[in-house]
Chain A
Amino acid sequence: MTSLGSSSSSTTEYVVRVPKNTSKKYNIMAFNSGDKVSCSTWTQARMERDMSNRRIYGEEESTDGAGGSEFGKKQREEARRKKYGIITKEFKAEDQPWILKVNGKAGRRFKGLKKGGITENASYYIFTQCADGAFEAFPVHAWYNFTPQAKHRTLTAEEAEEEWGRRNKVVNHFSIMLQRRLREQERGEEDEEEGEKGGKKKKKKGGRGGDLRIHDLENDLEISSDESDESMGEDGEGKAKTKKDKGPKGKGKKKKNSDLEGFEDSDDGDFEGLEVDYMSDESSSEEEEPEKTKPNKGEDVPKGIDEMSDSEEESEEENKNEEEAKEEEEEEDGKKTPVQVEKKKKKDSSGESESSEDSDIEGEAASALFMVKKRTPPKRGGGRGSVGSSRTGSRPGTPSIDNAATSNTLRAAANKLEQGKRQTVVSSSETPAAKRLKMDPSPQSSSGKSTPQPVSGKSTPSSSDVQLTEDAVRRYLIRKPMTTKDLLKKFQTKRTGLSSEQTVNVLAQILKRLNPERKNINEKMHFYLTE
């Protein structure tokens, strides 16, 4: 102990040690004092690195092996990167952020981002006092700034924009998040039950979402949120139920009831009064039967008008289904009334695809996105089953004749439609605009497999304005001589909903049937018909 000369001062000396061989790396965990973090209150904590950036850095290896890959693609990409001097930073696990979870699931979550440059000019050391009074100094390896992560729901960017647009109209801001939550629950339930309540939930979704809104607009607006949130929701029904139970605060609940006329608290029987989109999925038609009973059992019985409109819609759907089936069997086009033409066309492919999917996948949810997602398994299964050859190393000697392939698919599709018809009585009533928009891509996607192109002279209509039929071709050829290329241009894939290969095949068959006369104009073979 040395004491300095000046009064009222005493100094104690401590030895300072810098231990050499620790494998432990010391890091700083910095919290904002506004977050009021006190480590002593932590009972349990878990920490792990946040590896979500790995896929950005580790360039995705796509399509190894046959389909879709190019020979020497990797080398070419590398050469290209070198040429342009693109240097991609490698993914260092050391530099990734930390995720800190305190006190288990119900506790707080923090994300810790590494602060760079702390060891550049000066070193930080941690001085701890040991039992023997000596100090030990450890160098600080890294500094992480931890920020708390929000546990409450937030709006996504699209929804925020939406709400911003409504800010002058919406009076009750508390219900915004409530409705969003309900929407998510419903979507989660869909996922879970695979559409058992699919139709109803969609209706429900349509119903909520805004306080002073007209139905149509509402439905339109919710499309984006639907699609963006589509992937959400492992939430089981139980969770949804509990949320509903405790969810809405008194104000919100009252508001909900008062604002949303005709909608009740129960799941059952909600939103039957909503306008139906005729493009709605038929897949839920299968579940519509059990579903139909449910609405009737609902606690608060839907109003009379709602029921009526519901049954109306259902009967309409029925009719459409039957017509669809008929079409499969007979010639098309002429019979359709103009009103139903568009709807039917859109429904056809969707219906076919769904009926085929029905058989493959029970109880599918009523959304095109599900259709798109689940398209691939049935497609593969269907395709293989229909053609019957397995993928082996054997080489194709001769090109396959489309006849066989398409007739198989036709048979398969016809069978499935039969099944579908038996099962489907009504389809769900969906939010009109949402479904319409979703259905639009579906014809394209599903037509590839599900829409059979019959060989034997029947051409099924696909959902579009221009259809690849014998009549249409005849009309063109009567008017003026055309080459095959011209004809193909007339039946563009985008409008007929067929892939280019199918178009070619079908066109070839039609031409065979028509047996037009040939003429060589400008060294090109033109076809024409004389009336």
Chain B
Amino acid sequence: MSVKGQDVDLTRAKQNTGVWLVKVPKYLSQQWAKASGGEVGKLKIGKAQGKTVVSFNLNEELTVVECSGEKVSSVRTPREHPFAIQAVGGQTLAVFTESPDKVALEGMVVHRAECRPAVTESYMKLKKLQIEESTKPLRLSQRLDKAVTTNYKPVSNHSHSVEYEKKKKEEGKRARADKQKVLEMLFSAFEKHQYYNIKDLVDITKQPVIYLKEILREIGVYNSKGPHKSTWELKPEYRHYEEGQEDEEKLE
């Protein structure tokens, strides 16, 4: 994602560009997202009695609100949005951008502002709509006419257990293979992992449990305690793992 340790482009920071940080209501940013050409409205900056008055006017075409449900285009967002300018103090805010290949410092924030909608009828209606939408529960309870009877029917033998039994029959009972072969299988298994459950070993070797246990008792040891509980592992003289701890070598 981001390149590590990149130099920050400080060119714009050097110019001491001042920017404004403006808090904008959600519906307005939604409308702005719909703007095609890029222009969303006009900003009016003026002075009245010594104070700076800033106001934002939304473009006409963007005031149409898309709403789900019945009321189509009967509600419009307000157009006038006076800005409430605040001081930045207490924090030094800077703006930096992150692009896929670089990080650049864009400037410092000189003014903070809140974009407030002018309180009009249309705004009230819009708000009402929003509230209605938000109070709708996510889940609805529906009443059914007929009870559902199709889900759980009693069955003499479930399909998956039929398959399971068939599979078992196929496999048949496990036959004792030649001891040497079993030892070979065991050793190759223990080369991959150090600790094995008896069940897993039975799976791997396909031997009856008792027979396998006998063989295991010869070459392995059962861990009844410790971190690898109830697992089998090879006896120390048979192991030769490449760990820092276990370094017992076997002598043939």
Residues in chain A within 8 A of chain B (CB atoms): 2, 4, 6, 8-20, 23-33, 35, 37-40, 42-49, 63, 65-72, 93-94, 100, 121-128, 135, 137, 139-141, 376, 379-380, 383-384, 387-389, 391, 393-401, 404-405, 449, 501
Contact B24 A400 (CB under 8 A): no
Q: How far is the CA of A431 from the CA of B200 in the complex (A)?
A: 53
- At the interface, is chain A mostly helix, strand, loop or mixed? mixed
Size of B's binding interface in residues, CB under 8 A: 91
Contact A9 B16 (CB under 8 A): no
Q: In the docked arrangement, what's the CA distance between A336 and B122, Å?
A: 101
- A308 to B187 CA separation, bound complex (whole angstroms): 62
Could you list 15 further interchain pairs (A-B, Cβ under 8 angstroms) beyond the known A27-B96, A37-B92? Answer: A12-B44, A16-B43, A18-B32, A30-B94, A33-B92, A67-B242, A68-B194, A68-B195, A100-B8, A123-B29, A128-B106, A140-B21, A380-B244, A388-B249, A395-B238
The complex places the Cα of A217 from the Cα of B77 at a distance, in Å, of 77
Q: Is B132 an interface residue (CB 8 A)?
A: no
A33 and B91 contact, CB distance less than 8 A: yes
Report if B100 contacts A (CB, 8 A). yes
Q: List 22 A-B contacts (CB under 8 A).
A: A4-B46, A9-B48, A11-B44, A14-B43, A16-B42, A18-B35, A18-B38, A23-B100, A32-B90, A43-B10, A46-B6, A46-B8, A49-B2, A69-B193, A72-B197, A93-B2, A125-B29, A137-B32, A137-B40, A388-B249, A399-B237, A400-B250
Please tell me which one of the listed residues A27, A126, A397 contacts residue B20 in the complex, with CB atoms under 8 A apart. Answer: A126
Give the interface SS of chain B, mostly helix, strand, loop or mixed. Answer: mixed
| A71 CB contact (under 8 Å) in B4, B200, B235, B246 | B200
**Chain B residues within an 8 Å CB radius of A70:** 193-197, 228, 231
Contact with B39, one of A12, A17, A127 (Cβ below 8 angstroms): A17
CB pair B193–A396 under 8 Å, yes or no, is no
Question: Quick check: A32 and B91 within 8 Å, CB to CB?
Answer: yes
A139:B29 contact, CB within 8 angstroms = yes
- Judge whether A94 and B1 touch: CB under 8 Å: yes
Q: Give the distance in Å from the alpha carbon of A42 to the alpha carbon of B9 in the complex.
A: 11
| Contacts of B61-94 to chain A: CB distance below 8 A | 89-94
- Which of A18, A40, A397, A404 is the one whose CB lies under 8 Å from B14? A40
A13 touches B193 (CB 8 A): no
Selected from A24, A68, A124, the residue in CB contact (under 8 A) with B22 is A124
CB neighbours (8 Å) of A128 from chain B are 17, 19-20, 106-107
* Given A18-B32, A30-B92; A395-B187 close (CB under 8 Å): yes
B residues 92-127 touching A (CB-CB < 8 Å):
92-100, 103-109, 113
B163 within 8 A of A: no
Residue of B nearest to A386 (CB): B249
Q: How far is the CA of A52 from the CA of B244 in the complex (A)?
A: 27
Question: Smallest CB–CB gap between B248 and chain A, Å?
Answer: 8
B97 & A24 in contact (Cβ 8 Å cutoff): yes
Q: Does B241 contact A (CB under 8 A)?
A: yes
A511 to chain B, nearest CB (A): 19
Binding site for A on B (CB under 8 A): 1-2, 4-8, 10, 13-14, 16-17, 19-26, 29, 32-33, 35, 38-49, 53, 56, 89-100, 103-109, 113, 183-184, 187, 189-197, 200, 228, 231, 235-252
Which chain A residues border B41 with CB–CB below 8 Å? 16
By the criterion CB–CB under 8 Å, are B93 and A29 in contact?
yes
- A389→B250 contact, CB < 8 A: yes
Residues of B within 8 A of A398 (CB): 252
Complex CA–CA separation, A68 to B239 (angstroms): 11
The answer on a CB contact under 8 Å between A17 and B20 is: no
Which A-B residue pairs are the 9 nearest by beta carbons? Answer: A11-B46, A67-B241, A67-B243, A399-B237, A400-B251, A396-B250, A45-B8, A127-B20, A376-B244
- In the complex, the answer to whether B95 meets A29 with C-beta atoms within 8 Å is yes
Q: Which residues of B contact A140 (CB under 8 A)?
A: 21
For B106, the chain A residues whose CB sits under 8 A away are 26, 126, 128
Residues of B near A388 (CB, < 8 A) are: 249
> Are B47 and A9 interface neighbours, CB within 8 A?
yes
* Shortest beta-carbon distance from A2 to chain B in Å: 8
Determine whether the beta carbon of B10 is less than 8 Å from that of A122.
no
* A residues near B24, Cβ cutoff 8 Å: 122-125
Q: How far is the CA of A94 from the CA of B99 in the complex (A)?
A: 13
Set of chain B residues within 8 Å of A384, measured between Cβ atoms:
247, 249
Give the chain A neighbours of B7 by CB distance below 8 A: 44-46
Residue in B6, B16, B194 whose beta carbon sits within 8 Å of that of A47 in the complex: B6
Nearest chain-B residue to A402 (Cβ)? B237
